[in-house]
């Protein structure tokens, strides 16, 4: 993989990832872009003991532009975009409207106790998976997926080394139903200045499991699912994809390497190679979930969120009962529960964090096995 770093007109970093060593990336960004000001701040919720990012400047971000004005397409035919080159494989660049920023606005509102307010230091990046505006991640080749995986891994390493970064989160949102504002196939990466609430809960659960059993929670979970097979969707030599026993969403799949590792950096070449095939298989199954059999080859693309869970970057919580207990895994789920119907987070879910699932996990797994691409 060849990595080429450059700067956009307003100073943001842009990085090309190419599978070919002879790729030349020398185009410059000639847009008259002013340096953007980030007004983000962190506010602590003392009741939940959670941080909330307040990013009022994001109200003005680009929203559903027409395809010929897409900022994630290559710069072609005199139209300048966020990517100066006329073509690319995979591109990562600093978000123009970030929730977190390396240099947040220094002037913060004073908060009286028990409230706490801090600068929203961190980094938000955009990952463009392909130059093809009308494609989807599921349309990529295994080689292209491999380049994306290399980009995720490199960004995890680079962002983890930044001062103050506690957790790196790679993810993709697809579909307007999810809230995507740019249709071009892309994902994002957040470098948080704190450990997220979801990860804190997983660390606590793994520590409690270790105290009860002397074993690792995630290893036990993968072993149990592989032994049962009832909820397994894809079982490979190096990866296992299954619907969790207590799935929150109607169609939700967790993808684990069979060998527990803490982050993307720890994957072997064989694990990386198999991932490209298993992940494409899963995404294609998701697209077939709600596609009528009489569709004559047309695919009804399923809205989804694909989220990588990795251990925090720092070692303060490491040890037998800390973040070293966590296992790298991908969680893939859709908010669609059946054809033409979405799973809305209503009173119980939004008000009390108690999910009510409309589809039995065993039935969801069976359905996903049936729609083999």
277 is in an annotated binding site: no
Where does the chain have alpha helices with state H?
A: 142-160, 197-213, 217-228, 269-289, 352, 361-370
Three-state secondary structure call for residue 190: strand
* Chain centre to alpha carbon of residue 244: 19
**285 token code pair:** 């199954």
Q: Are 337 and 357 in contact (CB under 8 A)?
A: no
Rounded-to-integer distance, Cα 213 and Cα 104, Å: 44
Cα separation of the two ends of the chain: 29
Ligand-binding annotation for 128, yes or no, is no
Give the Å distances, CA to CA, from 331 to 53, 134, 142, 307, 327.
23, 24, 19, 5, 12
In sign, the C-alpha dihedral spanning 95, 2, 24, 162 is: positive
Instruction: Answer yes or no: is 321 a known binding residue.
Output: no
Provide the token pair at 10.
């307003």
* Residues ≥6 apart with Cβ < 8 Å to 147: 1, 17, 18, 19, 89, 90
DSSP-based three-state secondary structure for 118: strand
Nearest to 94 by CA among 188, 165, 182, 161: 188
Residue 57 known to bind ligand: no
HSE-CB for 231 with a 13 A CA cutoff: 21
Alpha carbon distances (Å) from 48 to 8, 51, 245, 309, 348: 39, 9, 27, 22, 17
Answer for the pair 164, 121: CB distance below 8 angstroms, yes or no: yes
Burial classification of residue 24, based on how many CB atoms lie within 10 Å of its CB (0-12 exposed, 13-18 middle, 19 or more buried): exposed
Residue 169 DSSP SS3: strand
Which sequence positions are flagged as catalytic?
186
Q: Could you tell me which residues are annotated as the binding site for Zn(2+)?
A: 70, 73, 133, 184
Q: Could you tell me which residues are annotated as the binding site?
A: 70, 73, 133, 184
């Amino acid at each position: 993989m060849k990595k080429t770093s450059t700067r956009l007109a307003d100073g943001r970093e842009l990085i090309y990832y190419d599978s070919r060593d002879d790729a030349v990336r020398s185009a410059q960004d000639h847009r008259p872009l002013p340096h953007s000001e980030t007004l983000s701040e962190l506010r602590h919720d003392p009741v939940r003991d959670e941080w909330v990012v307040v990013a009022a400047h994001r109200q003005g971000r680009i929203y559903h532009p027409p395809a010929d004005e897409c900022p994630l397409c290559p710069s072609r035919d005199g139209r300048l975009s966020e990517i100066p080159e006329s073509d690319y494989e995979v591109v990562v660049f600093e978000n123009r409207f970030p929730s977190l920023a390396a240099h947040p606005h220094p002037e913060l509102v004073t908060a009286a106790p028990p409230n706490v307010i801090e600068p929203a230091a961190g980094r938000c990046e955009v990952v463009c998976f392909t130059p093809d505006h009308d494609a989807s991640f599921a349309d990529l080749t295994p080689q292209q997926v491999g380049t994306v995986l290399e980009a995720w891994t490199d960004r995890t390493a680079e962002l983890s080394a930044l001062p103050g970064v506690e957790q790196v989160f790679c993810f993709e949102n697809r579909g307007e139903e999810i809230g995507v504002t740019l249709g071009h196939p892309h994902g994002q990466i957040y470098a948080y200045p704190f450990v997220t609430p979801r990860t804190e809960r997983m660390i606590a659960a793994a520590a409690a499991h270790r105290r009860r059993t002397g074993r690792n929670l995630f290893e036990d979970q993968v072993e149990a699912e592989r032994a049962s097979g009832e909820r397994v969707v894809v079982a490979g030599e190096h990866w296992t994809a299954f619907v969790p026993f207590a799935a929150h969403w109607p169609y939700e799949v967790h993808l684990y390497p069979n060998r527990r590792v803490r982050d993307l950096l720890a994957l072997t070449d064989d694990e990386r190679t198999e991932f490209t095939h298993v992940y494409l298989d899963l995404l294609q199954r998701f697209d077939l979930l709600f596609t009528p059999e009489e569709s004559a080859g047309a695919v009804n693309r399923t809205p989804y969120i694909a989220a990588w869970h990795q251990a925090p970057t720092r070692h303060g919580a490491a040890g037998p009962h800390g973040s070293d207990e966590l296992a790298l895994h991908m969680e893939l789920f859709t908010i669609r529960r059946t054809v033409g119907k979405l799973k809305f987070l209503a009173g119980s879910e939004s008000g009390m964090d108690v999910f009510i699932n409309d589809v039995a996990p065993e039935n969801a797994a069976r359905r996903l096995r049936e729609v083999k691409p």
